[in-house]
Amino acid sequence: MNFLDMKTVILGHVLTDVVCTVFMIFLWYRNRKRFKGLSFFVVDYVLQLAAVLLIILRGTVPDFLSMVLSNTMVVSGALIVLLGLERFLGRPGPHLHNYGLLILFVLIHAYFSSVQPSLMARTVNVSLGILVFTFQTLLLLTRRTGRDMRPLTRGPTIVFGSFALVSLLRIITSLVGQHPEMDFFRSGSQDGLYLLIYQMLLIAQAYSLSLLVNRALLKEVRVQEEKFFKAFHSAHYAFVMTRLKDGRILEVNEGFVNMTGFSYAEAVGKTTWELGLWVREEDRLSAIEGLKKNTRILSAEYPFQKKSGEQMTGLLSGELFRLNDEDCILASISDITDKSMAQKIISSRLRLYEFAATHSLEELLQKTLDEVEVLTNSSIGFYHFVEEDQQTLSLQAWSTRTLEEFCKSEGKGSHYPILQAGVWVDCFHQRQPVIHNDYASLANRKGLPPGHALVVRELVVPIIRGGNIVAILGIGNKPTDYTDKDINLVSYLADVAWSIAESKRLEEERGRLIMELQESLAQVKTLSGLLPICASCKKIRDDQGYWNQIESYISAHSEAEFSHSLCPDCLQKFYPDFIQKKPSS
């Protein structure tokens, strides 16, 4: 008596195959862009479902369809799973021999279905086909797969090992058992039990494949997290993760700490505005609006402020993402202060050259001080010439801001000894740039003239030409300490200013000489023209109508000088006695 009805088992097989097929389609749809081979898993279950449906229709469809084609689908499904796993695990292999075995399977099954019908032979043939392909799948999972992937394949290994074991047992029991019935649906409880086991294994296979995909996802997530962690914390530029709604910092990297000067503990938990990272609130709001509108911003240039108060120019890139159901920002800041400053210096130099073409030397020096103030964020500036005696200073210019906001002290153009100057002339004595970041604490500083700007900190740079100091450029009252970067910047612009100023001075001197030469030439032309001269006293009338002694006029209009004497005729006329008394030779 059969305690397992074969038709009931096959019907249950249909239902489980439908569920498994839908499940695999869902698994494929969710992960098709991330993993290869998932479509093969779907095809396997579609073939299993189609095979069972054809078996149920046995007697109503041709035997070739219900016997040969249906079992070919079952065995092909085992091969297709092998192909899918190879692609999923990245271990493709040759399969020409498997295609040959599949053809051989079809021929054998067709022979024992039509030429010499044998249920036992067909059962052994199907079980052997499943065994061959599942054994290859076991080799893939246990030998061909790398050790790092084997923890992921443990579940499928157990399932396909069970498939191989059950198939081997079915072959053995089929060969040693009795098979009086040739009708599959009356084959007995033994075949029904094996089909039920295969049905459960197919369910276990779907579950193990889903676990394989999920574990691969988790591994990929861990790998991506590790990559992100390494990239986040090892980047030389600053990474900062903040909440969109309030700008509160969730995470920063070492690059942020090094760039801004804020420690990890000082930064995390605070808002960017509380840290004073943004110089201007409108820049922060503009960046947030850009993120809300486009979900990302790329290479936007903003001024930022370090913990020390020093400003830097940063290139900001950011992107919105969801974290714990909150909109967050992942932003990177690259310090381009040096590059930006180099561009500003070049632009400043070009502006000074253009300015010099249409302005006086005094205006040029003032413009130079204005440019240096902007680039160093200073508020006072002065420019002194040092006389050739290397002992005397002459104040040539104050910056525009110094005159308008700070300094009312007189003395522009005045000369005074270097020895009477304050500590700012240390640069003259040391022949190098000098920084006083705490001016009030200097013991040897001298008092400031009435109306002079209050000095908090200063940077003074000597300009040296031909071994002599020819000028001194000074700036002061930067909100933060002056640094070596400021020295390099001010020294460069001071040299540029001197070169332009020297050219301007030479140009003005050349103009003056040209004017004098033109006046001299005009005067020489007057002497060579028609001169009104008195016929009696020989006086000459000038352009204003005045009569001048001829020697006075010529002396004024040339470099000639006169001395007085008497010619022989006049001597004879006015002093005849002197001629007569003169002894003869």
- For 456-468, the pLDDT digits (tens) are 888 999 988 888 8
**164, 198, 228: which is the final residue of a domain?**
228
- Secondary structure of the chain: what % helix, strand, coil (to 5)? 60, 15, 25
In a domain, 433, yes or no: yes
Question: Are 485 and 384 contained in the same domain?
Answer: yes
In a domain, 513, yes or no: no
Question: Are 74 and 214 contained in the same domain?
Answer: yes
In a domain, 519, yes or no: no
Phi and psi for 497 in degrees, rounded to 5? -65, -40
Sheet (strand 311-323) strand order: 249-252, 238-243, 326-335, 311-323, 296-305
Give the lowest-confidence range in 81-90, 251-260, 415-424, 554-563. Answer: 554-563
Read off the CATH number of the domain in which 196 is found: 1.20.1070
Report how many domains make up the chain: 4
Check pLDDT > 70 for residue 526.
no
> Checking DSSP bridges between strand 415-417 and strand 540-541, what pairing results, if any?
unpaired
Check pLDDT > 90 for residue 105.
yes
Question: Are 296 and 408 contained in the same domain?
Answer: no
Question: Are 388 and 298 contained in the same domain?
Answer: no
Sorted by sequence, the CB contacts under 8 Å of residue 448 that are 6+ apart come out as 409, 422, 454, 455
**DSSP letter string over 498-547?**
HHHHHHHHHHHHHHHHHHHHHHHHHHHHHHTS---B-TTT--EE-TTS-E
pLDDT tens digit sequence for 137-174: 999 999 888 887 888 888 999 999 999 999 999 899 88
In a domain, 1, yes or no: no
Question: Are 378 and 397 contained in the same domain?
Answer: yes
Higher pLDDT, 445 or 384: 384
Check pLDDT > 80 for residue 557.
no
**Mean of the pLDDT values across residues 354-366?**
83
Give the lowest-confidence range in 194-208, 306-320, 496-510. Answer: 496-510
Give the lowest-confidence range in 75-84, 91-100, 232-241, 317-326. Answer: 232-241
Read off the CATH number of the domain in which 431 is found: 3.30.450.40
Report the alpha-carbon distance of residue 116 to residue 47 in Å, rounded.
Answer: 26
- Report the pLDDT value the prediction gives residue 45, as an integer from 0 to 100: 93
Report the alpha-carbon distance of residue 470 to residue 454 in Å, rounded.
Answer: 26
In this structure, what token pair is assigned to residue 294? 């486009």
**Mean of the pLDDT values across residues 292-315?**
88
Higher pLDDT, 175 or 538: 175
Question: Are 469 and 545 contained in the same domain?
Answer: no
In a domain, 217, yes or no: yes
Check pLDDT > 60 for residue 65.
yes
Question: Are 449 and 548 contained in the same domain?
Answer: no
**282, 301, 335: which is the final residue of a domain?**
335
Report the alpha-carbon distance of residue 156 to residue 208 in Å, rounded.
Answer: 5
Check pLDDT > 50 for residue 328.
yes
**Mean of the pLDDT values across residues 367-384?**
87
Instruction: Find the farthest-apart pair of alpha carbons in the chain and give their distance in angstroms, rounded.
Output: 189
Question: Are 56 and 200 contained in the same domain?
Answer: yes
Check pLDDT > 90 for residue 47.
yes
**Mean of the pLDDT values across residues 432-455?**
72
Number of helices and strands in the chain (H, E): 20, 13
Question: Are 11 and 138 contained in the same domain?
Answer: yes
**Mean of the pLDDT values across residues 277-283?**
90
Question: Are 54 and 189 contained in the same domain?
Answer: yes
In a domain, 288, yes or no: yes
Query: What residue has token string 């292999």?
Result: 93
- Report the pLDDT value the prediction gives residue 523, as an integer from 0 to 100: 59
In a domain, 42, yes or no: yes
Report the alpha-carbon distance of residue 18 to residue 38 in Å, rounded.
Answer: 17
Helix (H, G, I), strand (E, B) or coil at 53: helix
Q: 269: domain range? A: 235-335
In this structure, what token pair is assigned to residue 235? 């980047």
Give the lowest-confidence range in 10-19, 221-230, 328-337, 358-367. Answer: 221-230
Higher pLDDT, 279 or 226: 279
Question: Are 167 and 49 contained in the same domain?
Answer: yes
Check pLDDT > 50 for residue 1.
no
CB-CB contact of 428 with 395 (8 Å): no
Read off the CATH number of the domain in which 318 is found: 3.30.450.20
Higher pLDDT, 179 or 550: 550
In a domain, 525, yes or no: no
